[in-house]
Chains A and B, each alone.
Chain A
Amino acid sequence: MPPTLVYTPEQLLSSRVLAEPLIANGVRCHGGFDADGHYRSPRTLCRAPAIEAWQAQLSEEGHGLLEVPSRAMPPQYPNAAQAKLLLRHGVREPLVRSLTIISIVEGFGAIIRDVQVPDLEELFVEPLSGTALTHLQSGLFEAHARDESGYRDEGGHKQMWEAARDSALENPHIPGDVLMRLMGRRSQGARPAPVFPEIGQPLERMLGFMANVLVVEVFAEETFRWGMDILSDPEVSAAPEIAGDMISYIQADEKPHVEYLRTALSEVSARTIKTVEGGTIPGKQVIDALMHRILEQATRTRPADQRDDLRENLAESIRTATHPSALQDDFDALETPWAPPTRTGFEAAEDAA
């Protein structure tokens, strides 16, 4: 029997029956454990096979899946060795701040449920039936939003990161500047000019948003590695097992996000978009150009800005240590140099655009 390609929103939001819920630092969270004690992500009863089926269909049609190059992934700053050094010297604030910001940023993933999806059937030359694209607003975005920020009486990734932080660092004081760091730098000025005015703004905005979230989700792999390295280290963590496991559960939950986003974007890439003036443009040209632009920003401008922003703050925290200058030297010695790749892998289409 061929795999099902069409799902209802209820199906895409449905979860397995679990033997035990996930309780994170006293907070009931989504997901839980099966009878064998394995963690099972929420809302994956139909979502996981659905994504596999859409990917298989794409492959049968002769199209590959879009790949975000892992070499483009910028490292966390401070790196795990630097963060542990600070913790060993009692300087906890930078890590608490970073973990809190990560938890809030995860929660903001819920904004995806508010993305305006235009009438896609009208915008493509080829049919869209039985694709991930037709399920974005009927289950996929909503499932993504619920995973990130929690829903009703269950916590999501925001609360799970908080639990990892609070159990590993024993309910630390949250620095008062956390929200200012999030809100302090807003996108200035007018809306950026469209890259492809010919396809209409609603479609470009939706695709740009999805491509950006995909890059963030792929790059989060580095954050998971970093978080697990630090919080599961018994030398610096009060609850190494609990905190490490918590991050691994989040990591498992994120997989469907990466997969449905790259599937939907690949479906666009494999199709032809109708322009507002009655012409057409290859979907690949649009997706590659958007990916190139986002990767350029995510690998070049953003990490450097974030690093500069954090360095000043770190130096301030280090000054509170017993031997600040020695600690600063040791901290700097642990720095791992990183340079962004010269190419994003999506240049050809960018040049054509």
Chain B
Amino acid sequence: MRVIRIIRSLQIGWTAARVWSMYKIPHWSKKLRGRELSASEWSVIHERAAQKTLDLALGLRGVMIKMCQAVATRADIFPPEIIDKLKQCHDAVPPKSFEIVRKIVESELGKSMDAVFSSFDPQPLASASLAQVHRARLVDGREVAVKVQYPDIETIIRTDLANMRRVCRVYEFFDPRPLPLLPLLSELTRHLGMELDFVREADCADRVRELFVDDPQVKIPAIHREWSTRRVLTMELVGGIKITEKKKIEAVGLVPAEVLQNLMYIYVRMILAAGFFQADPHPGNLFVSPTGQIVVLDFGLSKELPEGFGLGLFELMFSLMTFNESAMVRAFDELGFRSKTGDKTTFVAIARRMVNRSDTGAFEGELTEDMTDELFEAIREDPVAEVPSDFVLVARVFSLLSGIAHSLGSRANILQAMSGGGPAPSLES
């Protein structure tokens, strides 16, 4: 293990040094000639640096993948070339062998696999940065999905985090205007702690299920607590159509716009009203049943918002959707956005820019991926010193939902969702 640690540390350190030199050498070289790098030259450097980082992450896996995923969500800090490249980290992880999986399951459950499962598919349904999921059948006949954490992942993560913290400190020491990487790392450490604890994940799933207990249009798979531990999670196997598969959705007689409105309502209710939400709505975690029920999976990254934050977000989204700049500025303030100058001019400018996005004078209640991108671009360009990290996570969720809307070729009316849902943009009474 000690050798592995040293090798991983060297790989991270070497890549960090190369990425740093990719930026600094051309910059200094131009400076010596009394010139600055052009926007297109910066763009090429960003792209190359991102590719190097991505290659390292796919090789080392574990926390490096997570770090890349975290960076890919911070459009408020990093340029689009880096964001686009590192987004690839979401679906690029090869699975572990079945023998390794068997060992973990048996050691965690304290029984042989045959004593718990009558069948266990050796091919995983999905594999991600921390765990992989297998289809299985319990001895009583119930079909289940079993999520199995990779061996030694906690140790690998601890090592990588320590390495990355060192690299970040060195970077901050040498760079006169460093990007805020250490706070990002702290946030990642917090999130990883949550995601590695499957008991917590089961609790989060139960909490969201309870929230929608009276709502037949939402399905959260039941957890089999007796066959779940901190590293193995056994849950009801729920099928469905992947939420972005428009043709299949239409083939079962569902209207994609209504599916999307339903999904938007679920997230608006979790985030704004309950202040507790599944924060990872990528298409692999969302399915639709033939009756239109939305299936939400993977509660590893679930987030509790501070008291009053949901109402602040509501005000921000509502004021944007209704073109009310002054209310938007008040909402920025309530949510904890702070400008370096301390005045509100920055936020007035951002609010005006966002409201002016509509050429037609109506958003029709739609919050698009472009809008969140533009908000972060405005924040990067203006001297905003403090963006609440909870806001960043929520913005990422809406950005992912907007991506799903794009795949479905539909629009979700967020105002309608905030007023209590209802079917797609029909505006019925």
Contact = CB atoms under 8 A, between A and B. Distances in A.
Interface of A: 27-28, 104, 107-108, 110-111, 113-116, 142, 145-146, 149-156, 158-159, 174, 176, 178-180, 182-192, 205, 208-209, 211-212, 294
A333 to B, nearest CB: 33
A231 B428 CA distance: 33
A167 to B, nearest CB: 16
Contact of A176 (B308, B362, B416, B429): B308
Given A114-B415, A155-B324, A155-B326, A187 B427 contact: no
Contacts of B364: 114
Interface in B284-335: 307-308, 310-311, 314, 318-319, 321-327, 330
29 contacts: A104-B318, A110-B415, A111-B415, A114-B364, A115-B427, A116-B427, A149-B318, A149-B324, A150-B319, A151-B322, A151-B323, A151-B324, A152-B325, A156-B324, A174-B308, A176-B307, A176-B310, A180-B274, A182-B418, A183-B273, A183-B418, A183-B421, A184-B420, A187-B428, A188-B216, A191-B428, A205-B426, A209-B427, A212-B429
B425 A205 contact: no
Contact of B428 (A114, A142, A184, A192): A192
B423 interface: yes
A114 B326 contact: no
B: interface residue count bin: 35 or more
B38 interface: no
Contacts of B314: 179
A76 B362 CA distance: 33
Contacts of B425: 114, 116
A191 B217 CA distance: 13
B326 A111 contact: no
B277 to A, nearest CB: 13
A209 to B, nearest CB: 5
Contacts of B418: 108, 182-183
Nearest to B216: A188
B150 interface: no
Given A114-B413, A176-B307, A108 B419 contact: yes
B322 A182 contact: no
A205 B326 CA distance: 33
Given A153-B326, A155-B324, A180-B273, A186 B427 contact: no
B62 interface: no
Nearest to A180: B273
A150 B318 CA distance: 11
B269 interface: yes
Contacts of B426: 191, 205
Given A114-B364, A114-B427, A116-B427, A179 B272 contact: yes
B361 interface: yes
Interface in B144-172: none
B398 interface: no
A335 B258 CA distance: 42
A192 B355 CA distance: 34
Nearest to A298: B429
A107 B318 contact: yes
Contacts of A111: 365, 413, 415-416, 419, 427
Given A114-B413, A179-B273, A294 B324 contact: no
A84 B89 CA distance: 59
Nearest to B348: A153
B428 A205 contact: yes
Given A183-B421, A186-B265, A191-B258, 16 more contacts: A28-B326, A107-B318, A108-B419, A142-B361, A149-B322, A180-B273, A183-B265, A183-B269, A183-B272, A183-B418, A183-B420, A186-B420, A187-B421, A187-B423, A190-B423, A208-B429
Contacts of A104: 318
A180 B419 CA distance: 10
Nearest to B419: A108
A182 B268 CA distance: 12
Contact of A179 (B311, B327, B362, B428): B311
Given A188-B216, A191-B423, A150 B273 contact: no
**A-B complex: 6 closest residue pairs judged by Cβ atoms:** A186-B421, A212-B429, A149-B322, A179-B273, A150-B324, A180-B273
B215 interface: yes
B411 to A, nearest CB: 10
Contacts of A184: 269, 273, 420
A133 B169 CA distance: 66
B422 interface: yes
Nearest to B310: A179
Contact of A155 (B265, B307, B327): B327
A174 B315 CA distance: 13
Nearest to A206: B427
Contacts of A156: 324
Contacts of A113: 362
Interface string B320-354: 01111111001000000000000000000000000
Contact of A114 (B269, B319, B362, B429): B362
A104 B327 CA distance: 13
A268 to B, nearest CB: 16
B318 A208 contact: no
B237 to A, nearest CB: 26
A160 B173 CA distance: 52
Interface centre among B217, B324, B365, B423 (most CB of A within 10 A): B324
B324 to A, nearest CB: 4
Nearest to B255: A191
A71 to B, nearest CB: 21
A149 B355 CA distance: 14
Contacts of B415: 108, 110-111, 114
A156 B325 CA distance: 12
Contact of A209 (B265, B361, B420, B429): B429
Interface centre among A115, A187, A212 (most CB of B within 10 A): A187
Nearest to B355: A152
A155 B325 CA distance: 9
A205 B427 contact: yes
A104 to B, nearest CB: 8
A182 B324 contact: no
Interface centre among A115, A146, A149 (most CB of B within 10 A): A149
B107 to A, nearest CB: 42
B311 A107 contact: no
Nearest to B429: A212
Nearest to A141: B362
Contacts of A188: 215-217
A176 to B, nearest CB: 6
Nearest to A113: B362
Interface centre among A104, A179, A190, A205 (most CB of B within 10 A): A179
Nearest to A9: B361
